[in-house]
Structures are given as C-alpha cells and as structure tokens.
Structure 1
Amino acid sequence: MNPNRTLAVAGRVLRQLAHDPRSIVLLMLAPSLLVGLFSWLFSEQEGTFDRFGGPLLALFPFVLMFIITSVTTLRERRSGTLERLMSTPLGKGDFIVGYGIAFGIAATVQAVVTVTFAVVVCGLEVAGPTWQLGAVAVVDALLGTALGLLASAFARTEFQAVQFMPVVVFPQIILGGLFMPRDQMPDVLTAISDWLPLSYAIDAVTAVTDGSEGWDLGRPLVIIAAVTVVALVVAAATLRRRSP
C-alpha cells in the first residue's frame, strides 16, 4: 500500500459523492428522518424512545452505509473503472482502504448529524456523554462500510449486492438485541448473536445511553474495530478487477 495512492482514491470518491446530491441526501438525512419518525411514533409512550432510540443510532447508519458502499464499489468494478485503475501502480489495498477512508469521513458526518438530531430535536436522553454516543455511531457506520466493501467483493451485480441484506444484515437486526435482550433469547440464538458484529454495536450504544463506562463500553468497541479491520483485509484480498 502507498499512502499517496490511497488518499488519491479517497479524494476521488469524495469528489464523486459531492456531485451526487441524491446520495448525499440519503447518507445525511435518511437516518435522522427515520429516527425522527420513530420518535414521533412513540411520542405518547413515555420512555419508549429513550429505550430504543440509542440502538437505532447503531442500526440505521450501519444499514445505509452497507447499502451505499456495496453498490458504489460494485459499480466501479462493473463499469471497468477498477480494471483501468488496476492497470496503474494502484493496489487492491489502496483501493479498499481509500474507499474506507472516504466513506468513513461520510460516516462521521452522518453520525454527527444523526446523533445531534436525536438528542436536540427528538429529545433522546443519554446518561453518558453525548460525544461518546457520536463516537460509537461513527464506529458502527464504519462497520457497515467495511462489511459493504466485503459484500461487494463477492457480488456480481448491484442487485446481488442488495441481496446480501437478508443474509448479512437482517439476521443481525433480529438477533442483535434490539427487540429482545440477548441474554433472554434461546441459548442457540444467543450463541449465534455472540458472533454477529451488530450485536456489539448495539451493546456499545446501550452502554453509553445507560451511562456505563470502562470495559462495558470498551469491549464491544474493540470487537467492532477488530471485525472492521478483518473485513477490510478480506475485501482487499478477494477483490476482483471486474465482474465476469
């Protein structure tokens, strides 16, 4: 990997995003609108939004970053752009990490906007520091970015990339602890959820909203960071120049 080439890829992706207003709106506004809709839906039930609003801040950025990253990266390969880039000294690692940096910056802005909206506009009450909630939301969005890059390496079309949602994302939503505490699930499902990274994303957000500190917050963040790095490495190793 070469830092200059990696940053060049990141800059190119950011310039592309800047010229795509629809993607910007989807990235920046969609999570806030979904959180706001959920807050409005349960506005008459005191305490409901405070209980579920935090985990939603882990869920929505994760899902959106997974979709946008997987489809955008696959489009580069199908259009032949990746093959042309690979004819230069650019390596697979430069491409994957460059994409990760670009979408990581987008994820950071997205997380700040969403958390600010949830706390200031929707009135989400957080026992821990608000900045920690924003930091965890950024880490969760980066996880979605890394898994999206990994999914794009195995898909052949944009439709196939979206089809990874039921396989990669939906089971994590169901078993991640959003609908039921993981320790109350059947033993087999609890064991499965222990291997799903979104479970730890929800654990991290819940730790902040409950005011937990130390290893209760650090452990899920370490696991999420490890999974993100592994996903990026595997994505770089399995990336194909173009779809057959």
Structure 2
Amino acid sequence: MSIRLTAWTALRVLNQLRHDRRTIGLILVVPSVLLTLLRFVFDNRPDIFDQIGLLLLGIFPFVSMFLITSVAMLRERASGTLERLLSMPLHKLDLLLGYGIAFAAVAVVQATVAATVAYRLLGLETQGKIAVVLMIVVSTAILGSSTGLFTSAFARTEFQALQFAPSVIIPQLLLCGLFWPREEMAGPLQAASNVVPLRYAAEALGEVGTYPLPTTLLWRDLAVILTFGITLLALGAITLRRRSQ
C-alpha cells in the first residue's frame, strides 16, 4: 500500500465527479428534495417527520453512494481503465481506499447539505446535536460506498450492477426498523436484522433523536457500521477483477 497512490486515486475520482453534473445533482440535490417532499406529506404531523426524516438522513447517503460507486467501478473495469491502473505500482487496496476516501469527502458535503435543509428549512428537531447526526450519516455513506465497491465485482455490465440494488437495499430497509419496530417483528426477522448493517445506522440515529448526549449504544452501533464498511472494502479488494469479461 502507498499513501501517495491512495491520495492520487482519491483526487482522480473527485476530479471525475466534478465534471459529472448529473451525479452531483443526484448526490446533493435529490436527498434534500425527497426530504422536502416527506415534510409536506406529514405536514400536520411534524412528530412523524422528526422520526422518519432523521432515519432517512442516514438511508439516502447509503443508497446514493451504493449506486454511484458500484456503477463507477464497473465502468472503470469495462473501459479497461482499471486494468491499466493495476498494471502500474497500484495495489487493489490503494484503489479501493482511494475510492472510499473520495466518496467519504463527497458524503461530508452531501450530509451537510441535507442536514442543513432538514434542520434549518424543514424544521427537523432532535434531542441530540446535529454534529453527531452528521458523524453517523457520513459513516453510513462510507458503508454504502464499500458495499457498492464490493458488489460491483460480481457484475459484468452497469445494468447488472444496478440490479444488485433491490436485493441489497430493500431487505435492509424492511429490516432496519424504518417501517416497523424491530421488537415487534417475527423472531427470524429480528435475528436476520442483526446482520443487516443499515439496522445499526437506524438505531444510532434513533438514539440521537431520543437522547441529548451520545449513548453507549450509539457508539457501539457506529463501531459496527465502520466494521462492516472496512470488512466489505477488504473483501472488495480480494474479489476485484481487472476488467469485465
């Protein structure tokens, strides 16, 4: 591994994103628009918006980063760019860490914009501080990037990469507690939710909504999220192929 090559990879990815206006719009604009729509759906029930809107602040970055990173890595493989890069003194982990750092930086901007809109313009209220929310949201975005990089190794086309989204994202949405409390689910589903990383993000954000100071459970959930992210990044380095067949 090389810090210099990892940093070069991160800068290259950020430079590519800078010229992709559609992706920038997806990252920065869409979450705020969806939160605004949700606010007016629950126009007469701000308490429901406070609960669901807070959870969606963590879910939106996970989904968007998963989609963008999986397609971006597949595009690098399909175009032969990845093969040329790996012919250089560039380790697979350098490449994936560079991607992770680049999208973590993007996630900070995305989370800041979405949280600012939610708290300042839409009236979202939580017991905990916005800084803690941002920390959890950025961690969730990193998890989405790692998941996207890992699953992209099993796709041969961009369409196949997108096909992984329903199988990876929807079960996590159903089991994380967004639609129904985990404690009231059937026993097998409660057990399954324990291995769903998005569940820990939802739980951590729920702690911010309930308590003014970070709790032990929040720190545990945050550690679990980062562990999932690092593990998936390492698995992505093992399974990464130079190009699509």
TM-score tier after normalising by the smaller chain length: over 0.9
Q: Is the 8 A contact 2:42 2:48 kept in 1?
A: yes
Shift of 1:213: 2.7
| Paired residue type of 2:26 | L
Q: Is the 8 A contact 2:53 2:124 kept in 1?
A: yes
Q: Where does residue 216 of structure 1 map in the other structure?
A: 217
| Paired residue type of 1:224 | I
Shift of 1:5: 0.6
| Paired residue type of 2:227 | A
Q: Where does residue 20 of structure 2 map in the other structure?
A: 20
Q: Is the 8 A contact 1:133 1:209 kept in 2?
A: no
C-alpha separation in 1, matches of 2:46 and 2:229? 36
Q: Where does residue 92 of structure 1 map in the other structure?
A: 92
Shift of 1:130: 1.2
Q: Where does residue 73 of structure 2 map in the other structure?
A: 73
Q: Where does residue 42 of structure 1 map in the other structure?
A: 42
Give the superposed CA RMSD. Answer: 0.9
C-alpha separation in 2, matches of 1:105 and 1:230? 20
Shift of 1:132: 0.5
| Structural mapping, 1:133-152, within 5 Å | 133-152=133-152
Shift of 1:110: 0.4
C-alpha separation in 2, matches of 1:36 and 1:134? 18
Q: TM-score, normalised by structure 2?
A: 0.98
Are 1:225 and 2:216 matched, yes or no? Answer: no
| Paired residue type of 2:112 | V
Per mean C-alpha deviation after superposition, the further-off stretch among 42-51 and 93-102 is 42-51
Are 1:117 and 2:127 matched, yes or no? Answer: no
Tell me the alpha carbon deviations over residues 198-234 of structure 1, each in whole angstroms, 9 at most, x when there is no partner.
0001011111111263312111101001000000000
Per mean C-alpha deviation after superposition, the further-off stretch among 159-168 and 73-82 is 159-168
Displacement over 4 Å in runs of 4+: none
C-alpha separation in 1, matches of 2:176 and 2:155? 25
Q: Is the 8 A contact 2:207 2:215 kept in 1?
A: no
Q: Where does residue 173 of structure 1 map in the other structure?
A: 173
Gap regions ≥5 residues in structure 2 = none
Q: Is the 8 A contact 1:55 1:206 kept in 2?
A: yes
Gap regions ≥5 residues in structure 1 = none
